[in-house]
Structure 1
Amino acid sequence: MRKWLPLVAICAGTFMLLVDVTIVTVALPDMARGLNASLADLQWVLSLYALVLASLVLTAGSIADRLGRRAVYLGGLVVFAVASLVCGLSPNVGLLIAARGLQGLAAAAMFATTLALITSSYEGRDRGIAFGVWAAVNGAASAAGPLLGGLLTDSFGWRWIFFVNLPVTAVALVLTALAVPESRDPQPRRLDLAGMASFTVGSAALVYALINESSWLFVVAAAALAVFVFVERRPNAMLDLSLFRTAAFPTLLVTAALLPAAAWAYWIYQTLWLQSVLGLSPIEAGLVFLPVSLTTFVLSIVVGRVMHRTSARLLIGSGMLFIAAGVLAQTVIDAGSGWAALLPGLFLVGVGAGLVLGPLSAAAMAAVPGPRAGMAAGAVNTFRQLGYALGVAVLGQVFRSGLDSDDLHRAYANALDRTFVVAASFAVFAGVAVFLFVRDGQRRGGLVPVRRMVSRWVSPTARS
């Protein structure tokens, strides 16, 4: 039993950092009332965490290669605990948003090191089991977020969605310090500080411009991202631009960004309708999302077992089209609709997400040369978090533009219907692009199982 303590420590941190993406959703109406927060404020509470995580995860991995992966993971846990405490104690929304950004920084440090720590802790069959458990925990975190958030908010108040992180962090800290071996790269890559800075500024400016309707920041975002493309032409780049010479890899990155934008980014606006218009409690609102969360979790496990002998192109492309169908199915709501009208569509979204999540990372790693597979996996994680932040911002603009009626029920129904149509268009675009530009077996040997791919891209020095 002792041999699995490192896995418990690593999975505890992974679960916590991923559940914090969605646990906030059903608590937002209570936050708005308690902190007198606007819709834009609520968008930042959701988006900033994902934005900072996306911006820093690749750089955090490079720092961990130098300083030691266990040390960086431990530091991330400590900072995450402090940030969670500040979130829970925040007297105003400004401090809450800032603390969410600090949470995102800590989450990047943790997320960037988890797979390498598993590799250094296990070998052979045990390593395969550990990777399987870690993947299941990823799915469970997404499934548990809304339900756990609703339960805590209903029982103890919204601040406890952050306070609950403290005991989990304490357990993970002790187990990591006692059971997880240290590992580092004896020849680490140089830190790409210019790439990190330009990517962070560009992403933040773009999200800020969308949420706060600031047109001049679009110019800042474009300039910063142009600088990022320029500096990434150098050796030791954070993201090797040569990977974009074939259509498959950029298509998969776009899909990674559009997946959360289409499947989950509208939940904030659904939650406002469920609680502010229909009068559901936080736990009742959390239960509404159970079909999508549970279906995603179960199907991800099933797909993980069969995808090594199944077309990744078919799984990803059809999965995105399932998401589109599920989101469009939710446009049936009108001024007289209840929460049950959402359930068939949410179930289809869960089916689609379950088909896409595992194959997406594996396909991205198979679409690039072997030595760049780790970079590809990190880029997929980066684009997923960035896509969520941008999705919340873009759909927020659509939602606000749809609030064009004095009747509350009709206004929310119209706004949500418009939001669903745009979200579905994201999924259709991604699904069609995958069928057009992605081919199975991009690298010799075809698309190999996720566990073997993960073992291959984690630095061999992590095993010592």
Structure 2
Amino acid sequence: MSAERAPSPTRWWTLGVVALGTFMLMLDLSVVSIALPQIHKSLGSSFAELQWVFDAYALTLAIFLVAAGSFADRIGRKKLFLWGFALFTAASLACGLAGDATALSLYRAVQGVGAAVMFAVGPSMLSHEFHGKERATAFTVFGAAVGLAVATGPLIGGSLINALSWRWIFYINVPIGILALLFGALRVRESVNKRAHPTDWAGLGTFSVALAALVFATIRAPREGWTSPVTLGLYAASALFLILFAVIQHRLGERALIDPAFFRSPTFAGISLVAMIGNAAALPSVFFETSYLENVLHVDAWGTGLRFLPLTLAMFVAGAIGGGLIGKVPFRILLGGSTAVMATGILFLNLTEADSSWTVLVPALVIAGFGMGAFNPARAALAIGVAEPAKSGVASGINETFQQVGIAVGIAGVGAFFEHRVATEFTASAAGQQMSPAAAEEAAHGISAGSIDAVAAAAGPLRDQVLPAAQDAFMTAFHGAMTLSAILGFIAAAIGFLMLRTKDLHASALSTIPPDVDEDPSPREDDETVPAASA
């Protein structure tokens, strides 16, 4: 066996296809936020249904990530990546054609399955193709694709919505996906892990039920009641299936969906928690900032996208800087510091008022953008770096799972807190007291969904009292939700500073290891590579 592995002649094509797929799947996570008011008007959806448009995607992303990583190692990373890309593209078309909110959420769930495959397999494809200093470059590009998609989602979404309709945020994926599939089939090499274990279907099933029940209970609780039999039953089911999942994982060991052995490393456990809690803080802030701009300040979709440019630019700059610091600055500083900066920026959202100028958002957008941008490349590199190369697909899948669980539960949890706070504030207001309890509760649900003006107009003679009460309830709930998001961000930062250790990195992660550890650049004994032309 040679001491050095020859650079792959198709590695840059692999990077291009993976980065494009990653950009698209992350774009469809962030771009939807700008379209929610239009989806609400077009399909007549409730606040809970709007949350599902967001969460159905994140939920299936989280559920299938780990299974996709292990499955890809066994049948071929390129093959499964392209199948995932094809499913994502087809589901995007179905989302654009959806006739109601339920159908849209269902197709978003299917879209999330395809995205899960791409998100899990992409980093392991890069880990297989790139080595040494080039690996840092590859993951910098990968992280930049993630950050750029999240940052530019509002601008891209706003331009498509204003020029065409909200449906085009999904239609645009179709021609891009077809081109990417063509280049991927012709230019990307296949690789497999001959020793990969079969998929843990029992673990996949119990994990899916546990997570779905948790998110469903949290989203429905504001309407059903936090102590209602439905809510408590769903939480109990979630806990039961989570326990079953843990038992199955313990018994299967390294053959499990989520191998418990990974979590013997404090750094692996730490980066998983940081990814989950950090994303539970970050994505709800974007969700509610969009609602504030469009529903309180009455900015149109294109204008909202433009006003997110400070976030876009900050994330782009910080992503480039953060990627360049990998291997030069300890991961605990990169990840703990970036999440602390993000949380600080989110706190600045408490400066907003119902009659503020949009510029009050600029400090929050810039500061939080720097934190989010610096976080992504370091998180991706560390998730791969703590595992041996043969298990990179599984390690990547586990970390992405925690990230998507954070997004799904964060949107559900912070959204439920927001909706409950709106209901409490509005029903207790003078205007709410003059309405029947049922009418006040229904009005509160409309306010949560962003229909502030419609709720006031429907109040008839109470309009002049209902409008300011609705705005006050929205803003109070908004400030509370953003404070909660910031607290989550600071918790993630504390975990990053305390649990991430450079010494836990695998020796193959040359660009992210201390000087006293040697790289082993030799090919993996359990991997086979198939040239692109014959793959």
Counterpart for residue 274 of structure 1 = 293
Name the CA distance, whole Å, in 1 between partners of 2:309 and 2:19.
22
1:457–1:223 Cα change, 3 Å = farther
What is the number of equivalent residue pairs in this alignment? 463
1:455–1:206 Cα change, 3 Å = farther
Counterpart for residue 527 of structure 2 = 461
Name the CA distance, whole Å, in 2 between partners of 1:18 and 1:454.
33
Q: Does 1:253 align with 2:266?
A: no
Contact 1:440 1:447 (C-alpha < 8 Å) held by counterparts: no
Q: Does 1:394 align with 2:413?
A: yes
How big is the shift at 1:29?
0.1
The residue matched to 1:308 in structure 2 has which SS?
Answer: coil
Alignment partner of 2:117 out of 109, 124, 132? 109
Structure 1: runs of 5+ lacking an equivalent? none
The residue matched to 2:174 in structure 1 has which SS?
Answer: helix
How big is the shift at 1:428?
1.4
Q: Does 1:89 align with 2:97?
A: yes
Question: When the two structures are superposed, what TM-score results if normalisation uses the length of structure 2?
Answer: 0.80
How big is the shift at 1:415?
1.2
Quick check: 74-83 or 277-286, which moved more?
74-83
Structure 2: runs of 5+ lacking an equivalent? 1-8, 222-230, 427-465, 531-535
Contact 2:297 2:355 (C-alpha < 8 Å) held by counterparts: no
Contact 2:34 2:290 (C-alpha < 8 Å) held by counterparts: yes
Counterpart for residue 446 of structure 2 = none
For 2:309, the aligned partner's letter is: L
How big is the shift at 1:371?
6.0
Contact 1:440 1:446 (C-alpha < 8 Å) held by counterparts: no
How big is the shift at 1:93?
0.7
For 1:352, the aligned partner's letter is: G
How big is the shift at 1:402?
2.5
How big is the shift at 1:418?
0.5
Counterpart for residue 247 of structure 2 = 230
Quick check: 75-84 or 20-29, which moved more?
75-84
Name the CA distance, whole Å, in 1 between partners of 2:91 and 2:19.
20
Contact 1:320 1:353 (C-alpha < 8 Å) held by counterparts: yes
The residue matched to 1:183 in structure 2 has which SS?
Answer: strand
Q: Does 1:51 align with 2:68?
A: no
Name the CA distance, whole Å, in 2 between partners of 1:204 and 1:456.
42
The residue matched to 2:191 in structure 1 has which SS?
Answer: coil
For 1:338-353, what aligned pairs fall within 5 Å after superposition? Answer: 338-353=357-372
For 1:278-357, what aligned pairs fall within 5 Å after superposition? Answer: 278-357=297-376
For 2:350, the aligned partner's letter is: T
For 1:319, the aligned partner's letter is: S
How big is the shift at 1:313?
1.1
Q: Which has the larger radius of gyration?
A: 2
How big is the shift at 1:115?
3.2
Contact 2:59 2:112 (C-alpha < 8 Å) held by counterparts: yes
The residue matched to 1:441 in structure 2 has which SS?
Answer: helix
Name the CA distance, whole Å, in 1 between partners of 2:167 and 2:205.
32
Contact 2:318 2:371 (C-alpha < 8 Å) held by counterparts: no
Q: Could you report, residue by residue, the CA deviation over 1:357-409 in whole angstroms, capped at 9, with x for unpaired residues?
A: 22234444555667655533322211111101111001111211222234232
For 2:214, the aligned partner's letter is: L
How big is the shift at 1:431?
1.5
Counterpart for residue 441 of structure 2 = none
1:455–1:207 Cα change, 3 Å = farther
How big is the shift at 1:355?
3.0
Name the CA distance, whole Å, in 1 between partners of 2:44 and 2:27.
25
Name the CA distance, whole Å, in 2 between partners of 1:243 and 1:295.
33
Contact 1:120 1:181 (C-alpha < 8 Å) held by counterparts: no
For 1:23-422, what aligned pairs fall within 5 Å after superposition? Answer: 23-118=31-126, 129-213=137-221, 214-233=231-250, 234-235=252-253, 236-366=255-385, 374-403=393-422, 404-405=425-426, 406=466, 407=468, 408-422=470-484
Quick check: 390-399 or 127-136, which moved more?
127-136
Question: When the two structures are superposed, what TM-score results if normalisation uses the length of structure 1?
Answer: 0.92
Quick check: 136-145 or 437-446, which moved more?
437-446
Q: Could you report, residue by residue, the CA deviation over 1:43-91 in whole angstroms, capped at 9, with x for unpaired residues?
A: 0000111110111011112222233222222222221122111110111
Identity %: 33
